[in-house]
Chain A
């Protein structure tokens, strides 16, 4: 079984998203799944269309916020939801692809839209077991 997983953690007004993986990239990909899970069950979203995403930031933590905000923008402006992600990170630059489909209100039953990723509860690093974790609170 893959070590990759996502979680939510509580914030009084909003939701924290956390991605865990064997690599920094995998943690970022899982954090993106956690972001979708704030809105709907990611399993209900079919990865039918690919959207390329690129961002860059001076450190890993700011890069995580940029990555999630790029996804928020693509979801809002394309009226799409995403469920599969692939990321490569080199020298503070992220190249990624998000696969998803247009929002189907009957099938996806979206709960809430995400306004943006925040610097609250923001952390990217390696845990004692060697796995990477990438997390922050998102405003809904």
Chain B
């Protein structure tokens, strides 16, 4: 993008003052190089978001922002129901509550290296991943209902994990206000055999090594030190979430017309929060959040089984579970007044700072862990929420590297087998059913995750705690 389109407020924040139908400014966070590299579509999409009814303060784009649907991926926007605010299925995305969950293992790199191949093979064998894979759990209609209401808490009640896991999950593992009655039969049918599956695309399970610690105190509080082994999972609400997203996108295109909401792009489809469609979506989306939390909970149970067999000394404890495609009701101070807002984060991670009342006890003093997923050949990061993030981005930060190249172009540029062998030479084992899938997810198809994280750090959205590099990557 041409940076001449912005007024630069700091080295890391770029503002677009309201013009045309924009109700509020748009703000993009990033360093000059990241903003220059962003597609012009990010500008178009974030300014479109700023036109929606009831938007509060500003529409924000995180440093990993890229061209999405309606909202850019890496977009954050908050709406006030009392001011005609809207809720948008496109503002959450198809993969509702997609997120990252990290586990500490109590192991160090020397424990893992002798068993690296075996561990990679066993994880690939046991964790269902990719198109056509099904989980071992098939939910009856009653179980489906309980799962949609209970989330990870339901999964723990079924024996997949511990109460301590729930204390280290956003919403304590169970999203309140889920309304399974608004989840269609189609959505349930798509999910019946997909519990405990990783999915495909950019979703993964990685065994990572802590290669750098930037903040010793916070790292210690999170239970992380250099050369530790971390398990990281990136996946979401599977077919159920995708179906809910699909169905409500259509309903909201129609509803927006009925409520006289001007949509600069159909994908921005939305409905007033207080409308029947808005409330139905909210209830269904929260049920999908529970589905994602339950799914990730079941997957870590499978991972624990593998470790128990292969590395019985390991003790897998949940560090945290964050979701980066959500709409959540939160209290934020705007112009000196506390307001109840519907915060959409589409490819953006919640990043509450120290003292935030919604944080679990363990992170009340430190601020929450912000888990950033990278690519199979680069790095992932653990960050921590700051005191400033609330004021700068409604307590939000980036979510990953963000693509810089289409799948189409990536497939032409790389061969999957070559990517796998090159990474193996660097000590990173890839297990994937599809060579083409690996090519499409090649590390070079993404922005530089370290530059994205550095920009988030310097913009004050979240601070760096540790850098993690993959040893094993299971790809769907």
Where the two chains meet, the residues of A that have a C-beta atom closer than 8 Å to any C-beta of B are 8-15, 39-40, 62, 65-66, 69, 72-73, 76-77, 79, 103-105, 108-113, 115-120, 122, 137, 139-140
Contacts and interface: CB of A to CB of B under 8 A. Distances in A.
A120 B403 CA distance: 17
Given A13-B73, A110-B131, A140-B201, 4 more contacts: A12-B66, A69-B246, A111-B437, A112-B200
A120 B266 CA distance: 8
Contact of B69 (A9, A109, A120): A120
Interface string B424-442: 0000000001111100100
Contacts of A73: 186, 190, 243
Given A8-B408, A79-B132, A79-B134, A112 B69 contact: no
A15 B434 CA distance: 17
B262 interface: no
Residue of A40, A109, A115 most packed against chain B (CB within 10 A):
A115
Contacts of A12: 39, 41, 66-67, 403-406
A103 B436 CA distance: 17
Contacts, number: 128
B57 interface: no
Interface string B32-52: 000000010100000000000
Contact of A116 (B68, B94, B193, B253): B94
Nearest to A39: B131
Interface of B: 39, 41, 66-70, 73, 93-95, 130-134, 186, 189-190, 192-193, 199-201, 239, 242-243, 245-246, 249-250, 253, 265-267, 269, 403-409, 433-437, 440, 476
Contacts of A15: 406-408
Given A10-B408, A11-B67, A115 B95 contact: yes
B253 A119 contact: yes
Given A11-B67, A76-B190, A111-B200, A119 B249 contact: yes
Contacts of A14: 406-407
A39 to B, nearest CB: 6
A105 B67 contact: no
B432 to A, nearest CB: 9
A111 B245 CA distance: 22
A18 to B, nearest CB: 12
Nearest to B405: A12
A9 B408 contact: yes
B267 A119 contact: yes
A105 B132 contact: yes
8 contacts: A14-B407, A77-B186, A77-B190, A109-B433, A111-B436, A113-B201, A118-B249, A119-B266
Contacts of B239: 76-77
B131 A112 contact: yes
A73 to B, nearest CB: 6
A140 B95 CA distance: 9
A8 B200 CA distance: 19
A120 B267 contact: yes
Contacts of A69: 246
Which residue of B39, B266, B405, B409 has the most chain A CB atoms within 10 A of its CB atom?
B266
Contacts of B476: 112-113
A116 B186 CA distance: 13
Give the interface centre of B239, B245, B407 by most chain A CB atoms within 10 Å.
Answer: B407
Contacts of A137: 69
A101 to B, nearest CB: 11
Given A62-B253, A66-B250, A113 B199 contact: yes
Contact of B406 (A10, A111, A115, A117): A10
Contact of A112 (B73, B243, B246, B440): B440
Contacts of A116: 94, 242-243, 245-246, 249
B131 A122 contact: no
A11 B68 CA distance: 9
Given A111-B200, A115-B95, A115-B242, A140 B131 contact: no
A52 to B, nearest CB: 16
Q: Select the residue from A112, A119, A139 with max chain B CB neighbours within 10 A.
A: A112
B189 A77 contact: yes
Nearest to B247: A69
Nearest to A110: B131
Nearest to A68: B246
Contact of A108 (B68, B132, B404, B440): B132
Nearest to B410: A10
A11 B253 contact: no
Contacts of B192: 77
Contacts of A119: 69-70, 249, 253, 265-267, 269
A12 B437 CA distance: 16
Contacts of A11: 67, 406
A139 B94 contact: yes
A122 B406 contact: no
Contacts of A77: 186, 189-190, 192, 239
Contacts of B404: 12
A111 B249 contact: no
Nearest to B132: A103
Contacts of B130: 105, 110, 113
Given A79-B132, A119-B69, A113 B200 contact: yes
Contacts of A13: 66-68, 73, 403, 406
Contacts of B437: 111-112
A10 B405 CA distance: 9
